[in-house]
Structure 1
Amino acid sequence: MMRARKTKLWALAVLLVLLLLAIMSKGCFTSASQTPQAELPALTAPVKITFWNQETNDLRQEVVKESIQTFNQTHPHIQIVPYFYEGETYKAKLRVAAISGKMPDLFYYWTGDSFKYMVDSQIVADLTDLMQEKPAYKKQFYPEALQNSTYYERLYGLPHTTSHVVFWYNKRLFAQFGITPPETWDELILAAQTLLSHGISPFSISGKERWPLLNWYAYLSNRLGGTSSYEHTIKGTGDFTDPSFIEAALLFRELVNKKMFVPGFMGLDRKMADALFLKGEAAMYLQGDWAAEEMLSNTDIGYFRFPTVHGKGDRTVYYGGSNGWAISKYSNQQAAFEVLSYMLSIEERKKFVEASGQLPTLKAIPLSPNHMKPSIYEYVKFIEKDPSRYFGYYDQEIDPRRSQLLLDTVVTMASAQTLSKKEIEDLLKQIR
């Protein structure tokens, strides 16, 4: 009986195997290993977009980081890989990347000849067609902001901020010594002398980073010579031997000789210079409104325009202009532009402006005073209307080689023990 039962079970097993083979031969069943490759689900990695920015270590950086984080969470097919660098380090790193051809996908830029040099080197993506595909998005920008990033009638970058260099001042110290915000150079010098006589440094400044020194020299030369002198210098039809540049250098040297800057200013970085001013160890600070949130969080701090100089210049002409983000030519341009469109959406820039107090390049951003510190809201409303025009950052408006020569010259003017007018003229002649 046992043997008969085993025989039947064996026969049944054989029949089942034969049936299974028959089904497989007719294609009614296909194993996973036999599935054609085309039928497998596509497992593609997200596009990674490297994104270089200036380091700020304040609310501006935090807002940008939050925008990036939100984008990465909501756009699984694209992931932003951000990098933040201190200002001078960033400029040096970008120069090396431009020369080596190893550019990030997205990068921070300043308008001017420094950016045009990158455009001419054919390492920056032409965004004209991508913007034409989004006419409604293009209309959100102020036309003049886009024009600042346009070369040869083609668009090469999207501006995100319009910045201004202004005088920040300590209202408590001014009131204590009977000083009112000066409107002329003579009034500024008189205020500085009053402060010095009471043991207060008139001006904080960061000499270590060079460009804050240039803020002074640029404003002085512009007030004395207007915008035309520098425009001729940019084009090569003029140079720094123009009388306005020499007179500006002499006035700047007077500030140095009279010890109007905080002691040891050539060794200070921007954080140190900020701190000295905010602690009341200096009464005034010529700095950009990229520091507006930090400055206006202190109730003692106010602001005023750079004054006229010896009756020349217009106080509503501001040193500043637009900064933006650009795409490198050999990146995934569609993915990078998707990132830019998000980062420069009205919703994301609204958060940035409300936190930072910097003027946007997008029109009709619905700012809410309920979401802003009152002092920042008041500043934004003031700076929206006050400038009649701008003149660009001197170290960005000229080509990179002359830019370094100019910065080195300003450092010499700020640090030399003695410097005659003839020596100043010889220094300025070398910036060619």
Structure 2
Amino acid sequence: YYPRINAMIAANDAPDIFSSHAAGRLKTYVDAGKVYPLNEAFAADPEWKSQFKEGVFDHVSFDGQIYAMPTSINVAALFYNQEIFAEYGLQPPTTYAEMKEVIEVFVNDGVTPFAFGAKDPWAAAVFVELVENRIGGSEPFNRIVNRTGTWLDPCFIKGGEVMQELVDLGAFPDGFLGMGYDETLAMFMNGQAAMFVMGSWAVGSIGSEDSGIKDVVGVARFPVFEDGIGDIDAWLGQPDHNLTITASAADKDAAVSFLKMWSADEVQRISAKRTGKLTVTRAELDPTELLPLGIELSNLLEDMKTMFLFYDVALGPQLGDEYNNTIQAVLAGMSPEEAFGRLQKYMEMVDMDAQF
């Protein structure tokens, strides 16, 4: 998707509206002057702006200007098969020690603990980012974003060590390095693994009529580490499907009208009903029309203390992709010190190039 959009923008043939990830990814277009700010449109229609929940525009705004309209919110969670857990008298783990105990029980009886793969590096990174945040909290990564920190921070190194420990414990399927997102999703939906750590975009599939586990799937917060400082109510996520209007759009009023359609109460209700996605507006939802799994997740989010962005979204495409590749390398056996040391050098090189 992005290579094609980027090529169209470079050729001055961009669509009037396109979807972008927030933060670093969106900022590349903003810095290039390719995106139309929405402040004027919101000022002309204050009622439209008031529909949105607090904080929705935080990660699509730069220097006081709003450059995109999110249409939904995604968060990462621990999905688990209640039937498998009940069979072994287990509860979803709330700490890393409990997670290892659960893994041991499953492995000893031939049950795959996690549907997990590293063929798509971004999918594997979702799990790792939660581990890193639970160990060190949000500050180490925030310092990376602000360029006051280092990838050799203990939370990243220990996070890599934890992932290698999980590999050694048998937490992941045989051949997980060659398994992509679609394969792991199907594995979990077919009842072939007990747990699945993924974004809430999977709710629509996991909880659909076609899912083999739709009646037995539950959702939980990702566990904390006993010696970590991360909070169990800190959620990894992002504003999603952020609609942006290109600066070259011929009819910006028509483009704004299209954005308003996506934020209309009825459209937000349909999105929540069909996909289980979290809404960005204050539209009232009928619980009887929603996926039960989506309702369960929404209830957990009522205690959310903070949301930290998916790392590749926050970092932007160049450094974000390299972070994901680093995670893939660690899972393949490279020492965390070497892998993150290489990432640190890569970041320094990118930053140096940006100065010239």
TM-score of the superposed pair, with normalisation by structure 2: 0.90
Q: CA deviation at 1:376?
A: 3.4
User: Aligned pair in 2 of structure 1 residues 299, 265: CA closer, same or farther (>3 Å)?
Assistant: same
Q: Which one of the candidate residues 392, 415, 418 is aligned to 2:309?
A: 392
Q: CA deviation at 1:422?
A: 4.1
Q: Do the aligned partners of 2:151 and 2:341 also contact (CA within 8 Å) in 1? A: no
User: Aligned pair in 2 of structure 1 residues 425, 125: CA closer, same or farther (>3 Å)?
Assistant: closer
Identity over aligned pairs, percent: 24
Secondary structure (helix, strand or coil) at the match of 1:348 reads: helix
User: Aligned pair in 2 of structure 1 residues 343, 254: CA closer, same or farther (>3 Å)?
Assistant: same
Q: Do the aligned partners of 1:206 and 1:270 also contact (CA within 8 Å) in 2? A: yes
Inter-partner Cα distance in structure 2 for 1:329 and 1:154: 14
Query: Which string of whole-angstrom CA distances, capped at 9 and with x for unpartnered residues, describes residues 363-386 of structure 1?
Result: 1x1211232344433433x14413
Secondary structure (helix, strand or coil) at the match of 1:315 reads: coil
Q: Do the aligned partners of 2:245 and 2:255 also contact (CA within 8 Å) in 1? A: yes
Equivalent AA in structure 2 for residue 335 of structure 1: A
Within a 5 Å distance, the mapping from 1:84-233 to structure 2 comes to 90-233=1-144
Q: CA deviation at 1:242?
A: 0.9
Inter-partner Cα distance in structure 2 for 1:378 and 1:165: 14
Inter-partner Cα distance in structure 2 for 1:305 and 1:397: 22
Inter-partner Cα distance in structure 2 for 1:427 and 1:355: 42
User: Aligned pair in 2 of structure 1 residues 244, 357: CA closer, same or farther (>3 Å)?
Assistant: same
Q: Which one of the candidate residues 272, 275, 278 is aligned to 1:356?
A: 275
Inter-partner Cα distance in structure 1 for 2:340 and 2:262: 46
Equivalent AA in structure 2 for residue 204 of structure 1: A
Inter-partner Cα distance in structure 2 for 1:185 and 1:322: 28
Inter-partner Cα distance in structure 1 for 2:68 and 2:56: 10
Alignment partner, residue 64 of structure 1: none
Q: Do the aligned partners of 2:81 and 2:218 also contact (CA within 8 Å) in 1? A: yes
Q: Do the aligned partners of 2:322 and 2:343 also contact (CA within 8 Å) in 1? A: no
Q: CA deviation at 1:257?
A: 3.0
User: Is 1:322 aligned to 2:233, yes or no?
Assistant: no
Q: Which has the higher contact order (CA 8 A, sep 6+)?
A: 2
Equivalent AA in structure 1 for residue 226 of structure 2: H
Q: CA deviation at 1:220?
A: 1.2
Alignment partner, residue 284 of structure 1: 195
Q: Do the aligned partners of 1:166 and 1:306 also contact (CA within 8 Å) in 2? A: yes
User: Is 1:303 aligned to 2:219, yes or no?
Assistant: yes
Q: CA deviation at 1:239?
A: 2.1
User: More deviation in 159-168 or 293-302?
Assistant: 293-302
Equivalent AA in structure 2 for residue 121 of structure 1: A
Q: Which segments of 5 or more consecutive residues in structure 1 lack a partner in the other structure?
A: 1-89
Inter-partner Cα distance in structure 2 for 1:330 and 1:409: 37
Q: Do the aligned partners of 2:94 and 2:224 also contact (CA within 8 Å) in 1? A: yes
Q: Which one of the candidate residues 306, 324, 336 is aligned to 2:255?
A: 336
Alignment partner, residue 259 of structure 1: 170
Inter-partner Cα distance in structure 1 for 2:254 and 2:50: 21
Alignment partner, residue 37 of structure 1: none
Inter-partner Cα distance in structure 2 for 1:303 and 1:193: 21
Secondary structure (helix, strand or coil) at the match of 1:280 reads: coil
Q: CA deviation at 1:219?
A: 0.9
Inter-partner Cα distance in structure 2 for 1:163 and 1:107: 19
Q: Which one of the candidate residues 240, 264, 270 is aligned to 1:345?
A: 264
Q: Do the aligned partners of 1:394 and 1:403 also contact (CA within 8 Å) in 2? A: yes
Inter-partner Cα distance in structure 1 for 2:340 and 2:74: 31
Inter-partner Cα distance in structure 2 for 1:275 and 1:149: 32
Secondary structure (helix, strand or coil) at the match of 1:237 reads: coil
Inter-partner Cα distance in structure 1 for 2:258 and 2:54: 21
Secondary structure (helix, strand or coil) at the match of 1:143 reads: coil
Equivalent AA in structure 2 for residue 286 of structure 1: V
Q: CA deviation at 1:342?
A: 0.9
Secondary structure (helix, strand or coil) at the match of 1:360 reads: coil
Equivalent AA in structure 2 for residue 427 of structure 1: R
User: Aligned pair in 2 of structure 1 residues 147, 197: CA closer, same or farther (>3 Å)?
Assistant: same
Q: Which one of the candidate residues 310, 326, 335 is aligned to 1:409?
A: 326
User: Aligned pair in 2 of structure 1 residues 235, 156: CA closer, same or farther (>3 Å)?
Assistant: same
Equivalent AA in structure 1 for residue 267 of structure 2: E
Q: Do the aligned partners of 2:78 and 2:221 also contact (CA within 8 Å) in 1? A: yes
Q: Do the aligned partners of 1:241 and 1:428 also contact (CA within 8 Å) in 2? A: no
Inter-partner Cα distance in structure 2 for 1:411 and 1:99: 31
TM-score of the superposed pair, with normalisation by structure 1: 0.75
Q: Do the aligned partners of 1:169 and 1:284 also contact (CA within 8 Å) in 2? A: yes
Secondary structure (helix, strand or coil) at the match of 1:145 reads: coil
Secondary structure (helix, strand or coil) at the match of 2:194 reads: strand
Secondary structure (helix, strand or coil) at the match of 2:55 reads: helix
Alignment partner, residue 344 of structure 2: 429
